[in-house]
Amino acid sequence: MDSQLTQLCDSARQVVDGLGLAADEESSWALMAELGWFMVSAAEELGGLGLGIAGACALHQELGRSLSRVPFLPQMLAIEAVSRSPLAQQDEWLPSMLSGERVVTAALGESSFHLEKNTDGGFRLNGLVQAVPSADSASYLIVESAQHNCVALVGSAQPGMTLIARPTWDVTRRLFDIQADDVVLEKNLVLVEGDASQILIQQLAVLRDFALAADAVGASQALLKLTVEYLQTRVQFGRPLALFQALKHRCADLKALTDGADSLLQDNLAAVLDTHGEVVLTVETEMKARATKQLACSAFATVAEESLQLHGGIGMTSEHECHLFLKRALLNEHLGRSQESYDLGLADLFIASTQ
């Protein structure tokens, strides 16, 4: 990790610790905007810090530690998409996204969006996307369709767009479905068309997978720490629970799982970048992104499930933080693709690459 990144991590950790667990969404967003965190990955010539996906993931990891409610991930995906489009050259777009003034969101779940080309060459949008974080505070949504070779922005309040809140057990996220009925895409908001859109869509998937992995790793680390601290202080049978080997060994296993996920994240992040810090799109990259997401999110789920058990009765109460981690872990497993499809997709790609 270079020194700029280490510095960013250190200061982010302080800020995140100061905010506390699952801090208020709006004030956290304002603070992050003030600290310039939305600028982390964009290239320097576009007004960003130029730290790329590695910088973004370092922040995702810190935000994961605190179960941040901020829709940082969709904003980063949107910035990536706009950076790679002609809109990057227009003053009104990128600067306002980098400053956090303009909130743009993106779907983290399944999409049945369907694009139809009009006679004038424009697009009409129909269908439904799922798992769009904080859609009600975003002015735009990223629409992508691999089938129709297109990535575009669409106004979330445009005629024909309906937001449906989908309250989840995870209270640290606010997810929405978005239904589009004959929504006309503005021509200048079509970011990329043709083959280039396929590349961008894959790039966004790689970013998303690494970001979700980083979130899961950060949260696992924080939760394990919390759990060990609890076992140190809780006394039963005249001794701290942390003295019981049955419990120590489970904590050691969780530590190994967490360290494994962290190592894989850092290793794979480094492996998919070229010398300029840009993601190199290959099948190998796609596999690494999927493997990292899958391993990190399943490790987080195990850490969260075990931590609740290790906390005993207090873990079942809403006043304790344990359940916030568990619910976030359970949701994380379904973001991006389903966990099953990560498993099978990895196997299929690997089998195809093996003679």
Partner 1 sequence: MSVESNLDPFRQEVRQWMESSVDSGWRSAMINTEQETFVAAQKDWFSKLVSAGYATPHWPQGWPGGGRSLVEQKVIFEEVARADAPRLILYFVALYHAACTLLECGSAQQQARYLPGILQGEIWCQGFSEPNAGSDLASVRTRAELRGDRYVINGQKTWSTMAQYADRCLLLARTDKGERPQAGLTYMLLDMRAKGVTVRPISQITGDDEFAEIFFDDVEVPVEERVGEQGAGWAVAQATLASERGLTLVELSQRMRYSLPMIVRQMRSSECFGDVAIRRDLGRLISRVDAACALADRYLLKRISGDEGPGDASIVKLYYARTLREFTDLGKRVAGLQGQYNTGFMRGATQETGNWTVDFMNSYNWSIAGGSDEIQRNIIAERMLGMPREPRSWQFKEWS
Sites of contact with partner 1 (CB under 8 A): 224, 228, 231-232, 240, 242-243, 245, 248-249, 251-253, 255-256, 259-261, 263-264, 266-268, 287-288, 291-292, 294-295, 298, 340, 342-348, 350-351, 354-355
Per the CB < 8 A criterion, the answer to whether 141 and 132 are in contact is yes
Q: Using CA atoms, how far apart are residues 76 and 104, in angstroms rounded to an integer?
A: 9
Structure-block tokens of residue 304:
């969260």
- CA-to-CA separations, 282 to 198, 199, 206, 277, 285, in angstroms, rounded: 13, 10, 11, 15, 5
In this structure, are residues 188 and 178 in contact, taking their beta carbons and an 8 Å threshold? no
Coil vs helix vs strand at 139: coil
Residue 243 CB, shortest distance to partner 1, in Å, is 5
**Least distance from partner 1 to the Cβ atom of residue 230, Å:** 12
Give 155 or 260: the residue with its C-beta nearer to partner 1. 260
Q: How far is the CB of 160 from partner 1 (least distance, A)?
A: 39
Q: Smaller CB distance to partner 1: residue 142 or 264?
A: 264
Q: How many whole angstroms separate alpha carbon 236 and alpha carbon 240?
A: 6
Pick between residue 80 and residue 215 the one whose CB is nearest to partner 1.
215
> Would you call 92 helix, strand, or coil by DSSP?
coil
Beta carbon of residue 108, minimum distance to partner 1 (angstroms, whole number): 20
CB of 16 to partner 1, least distance (A): 22
Q: Which is nearer to partner 1, 40 or 296 (CB)?
A: 296
Q: Which two tokens stand for residue 228?
A: 């060990």
Min separation Cβ 51 and partner 1, Å: 21
Residue 344's alpha-carbon distances to 69, 223, 291, 292, 337, in angstroms, are 30, 29, 11, 14, 11
d(CA 325, CA 220): 8
Nearest to partner 1 of 157, 280 (CB atom): 280
Picking from 246, 211, 219, the residue whose alpha carbon sits closest to that of residue 301 is 219
Helices (H), the chain: 3-19, 25-35, 52-65, 72-83, 94-98, 195-233, 245-271, 283-311, 322-332, 339-353
Q: Which one, 119 or 233, has the nearer CB to partner 1?
A: 233
- Is 256 or 316 the residue whose CB approaches partner 1 more closely? 256
**98-132 exposure pattern, b = at least 16 Cβ within 10 A, e = fewer:** bebebbbbbbbbebebebeeeeeeebbbebbbbbb
Least distance from partner 1 to the Cβ atom of residue 56, Å: 20
Q: How far is the CB of 253 from partner 1 (least distance, A)?
A: 7
The least distance separating partner 1 from the CB of residue 267, rounded to whole angstroms, comes to 4
Q: Which residues pair with 184 in a beta bridge?
A: 124
The nearer residue to partner 1, 129 or 264, going by C-beta atoms, is 264
Residue from 338, 330, 340, 292 nearest 308 by CA = 330
Q: 169 vs 350, which CB is nearer to partner 1?
A: 350
Q: Please name the amino acid found at residue 254.
A: L
